[in-house]
Amino acid sequence: MIFDPATDKPQEECGVFGIYSPQPADIAWLTYLGLFSLQHRGQEAAGICVSDGESFLVEKDLGLVSQVFDETRLDKVRLGGARVGIGHVRYSTTGSNLRFNSQPLTVRTNKGILGLAHNGNFVNAREMRQEMLDDGVIFQTTNDSEVMLNRVARLARLDLIDATARAMRELQGGYAVVLMSRTQLLGFRDPNGVRPLCIGQRDDGAWVFASEPCALFAVGAKFVRDVQGGELVWADRTGLHSLQVLEGHKPTPCAFEWIYFARADSQVDGTDVHESRIRMGEQLAREYPVEADIVVPVPDSGIGAAIGYSRESGIPFDYGLYKNPYAGRTFIAPTQEARELKVKLKLSPTSAVRGKRVVLVDDSIVRGTTSRQIVNLLREAGATEVHFRVSSPPIQHPCFYGIDTAARKELVASTHSVEEIRSLIGADTLSFISEVGLRRAIAGPGLCIACFNGEYPAGVPLENDVNKLALEV
């Protein structure tokens, strides 16, 4: 997994948004609003693509939604008679944060101009791309989307819907995609529904597809339903349509959506995120009780589980770590010493922990470096004991479905026992929620927990090597 040195969290790759309005609407503005509320899913790049049936405009660049799109830039994708648009926010790995890889990707094909934005990974994209290269196709990006679009285009005699359905059958992995032509908005999801996608509708009839419901609400739409695994939905002048392209797959949405990625105010596949986090904390308290004075979350993602732990254990919840809201990525950190400062400048203990036995609740441990620093900060601030509780099991395997993964050897849990990790981070006790407990807390229809147990529901790349997912430039 890729780590922001100051968070040491797994990183979601993307958020997607699409809208089709039967009447002309300010599609650019609505897409901006949708992306703004999906910003937590990707902070490296943002893009918007809009069409009015004739013109087809795209703007995209590196940066936050609000950095890429000032009024001037947003005006560049404003069209008076606009009806359809898609948008994308992206987290990208170091070294590949190249402007040319930004989405939406827009291409001209035999089916007209198309724009595509996706979240997730195709595990067999590398082989398909090699096949096409051998066949004389050229590639300008290292983006899965370009493989998808080439596949759709090469099915030259099929219309857009049929070609997309065919491509869904050929491409494997965990993904959620929005795709637009001048007159249609398509959305589809991998057969297991690993990556999320939901449908909403505005009072004026406009259809909206988005990674999370918060983006529906941001544009004044009501939640209608989640897209099913293997389902292709599309909106056009004649309304909303659906085709169940791939059937018989067990739904296994990514557990990390509830653990960490999704916003606390979201529901994913029918299960409320905040409530799940409360239940994870309650479960942790049942599985790993401890005698202590206060329960302290690592803000902000540990708050839900900390409340749950507090409720189940009866130990008071307190605000023991202040988080500097300005401590983002732009901090200058020229030296190693400075990089270590990042955690200290971001998180700072309050007086609540002084002389207290603290239960510290976080959502995950990846490399453990940040966890060690936090434990240390608490001790310096006078905590007498630090009991670390984690609302996810140990991460031991890479993700092939769109969560950016580092080499397996960097995952502390893939090479160390829980006791070794405890010693490494300097906690008095350390406990991870059990897989069974996690499943119970989320209580969804099924889960992809491959990063915990190595069982990949949606296939693995040929050589089962995460590094082989990256497309060569």
Which runs of consecutive H residues, i.e. helices, occur in 220-335? 256, 273-287, 303-313
User: Which member of 103, 106, 211, 252 binds its own copies (CB under 8 A)?
Assistant: 106
Among 250, 324, 415, 463, binds its own copies (CB under 8 A): 324
Provide, rounded to whole angstroms, the least separation between the CB of residue 105 and its own copies.
8
How many alpha carbons fall within 13 Å on the CB side of residue 50?
25
Report the 10 Å Cβ neighbour count for 235: 27
314, 325, 336, 409: which one binds its own copies (CB under 8 A): 325
Give dist(CA 412, CA 406) in Å, integer.
11
Kindly state whether residue 107 participates in binding its own copies, applying the rule CB under 8 A: yes
Cα 156 to Cα 159: distance, rounded to the nearest angstrom: 8
Q: Which stretch binds its own copies (CB under 8 A): 175-183, 222-230, 316-324, 357-365?
A: 316-324
**Any contact of residue 134 with its own copies (CB under 8 A)?**
yes
Q: Examine residue 348 and tell whether it contacts its own copies (CB under 8 A).
A: yes
Strand 385-390: give its sheet, edge to edge.
Answer: 294-297, 357-362, 385-390, 429-432
CB of 371 to its own copies, least distance (A): 19
Say which residue the tokens 């035999």 belong to.
110
Least distance (Å) from its own copies to the CB of residue 203? 15
Is 223 a binder of its own copies (CB under 8 A)?
Answer: no
Residue 64, interface with its own copies (CB under 8 A)?
yes
Q: Are 86 and 115 in contact (CB under 8 A)?
A: yes
Binding flag, residue 71, its own copies (CB under 8 A): yes
What is the C-alpha separation between 344 and 6, in angstroms, rounded? 9
CB of 352 to its own copies, least distance (A): 6
Backbone angles phi, psi at 126, to 5 degrees: -60, -45
Based on its alpha-carbon atoms, the radius of gyration of the chain, rounded to whole angstroms, reads: 22
| C-alpha span between 35 and 48 (Å, rounded) | 9
Residues 6+ apart with CB under 8 A from 258: 268, 271, 273, 276, 277, 280, 441, 442, 444
What is the distance between the alpha carbons of residues 35 and 139, in angstroms, rounded to a whole number? 27
By CB under 8 A, what part of segment 138-177 binds its own copies? 138-140, 146, 149-150, 153-156
Comparing CA positions, the residue from 288, 312, 253 lying closest to residue 447 is: 253
Out of 7, 53, 249, 319, which residue is the one contacting its own copies (CB under 8 A)? 319
* 445 to 464: interface string for its own copies, x by CB under 8 A: --------------------
The backbone torsions φ and ψ at residue 204, rounded to the nearest 5 degrees and listed phi first, read: -80, 5
Nearer to its own copies, 265 or 291 (CB): 265
To the nearest whole angstrom, how small is the minimum distance from the Cβ of residue 66 to its own copies? Answer: 4
Look up residue 13 and give its two tokens: 């790759």
Closer to its own copies by Cβ: residue 22 or 139: 139
Q: Output the six-digit token pair for 69.
A: 């799109």
Please indicate if the annotation marks 451 as binding a ligand.
yes
Residue 286 lies near its own copies (rule: CB under 8 A) = no
Pick one of 16, 178, 214, 399: the residue that binds its own copies (CB under 8 A): 214
Which residue among 14, 49, 198, 214 is the active-site one? 14
Annotation marks residue 14 as catalytic: yes
Residue selected from 159, 203, 314, 332 as contacting its own copies according to rule CB under 8 A: 332
| Residues in Cβ contact with 382 at an 8 Å cutoff, skipping those fewer than 6 apart | 353, 354, 355, 356
Count of residues of this chain found to bind its own copies when the rule CB under 8 A is applied: 82
Window 10 to 49, contacts with its own copies (CB under 8 A): 29, 32-33, 36-37, 39-40, 43
Candidates 109, 369, 384, 396: give the one binding its own copies (CB under 8 A): 109
Distance CA 412, CA 367 (A): 5
Binding of its own copies by 374 (CB under 8 A): no
Q: Looking only at residues 264 through 283 of this chain, which bind its own copies when binding is defined by CB under 8 A?
A: 264-265, 267, 272-275
Query: Which residues are annotated binding-site positions for Mg(2+)?
Result: 301, 362-363
Q: Which residues are catalytic?
A: 14
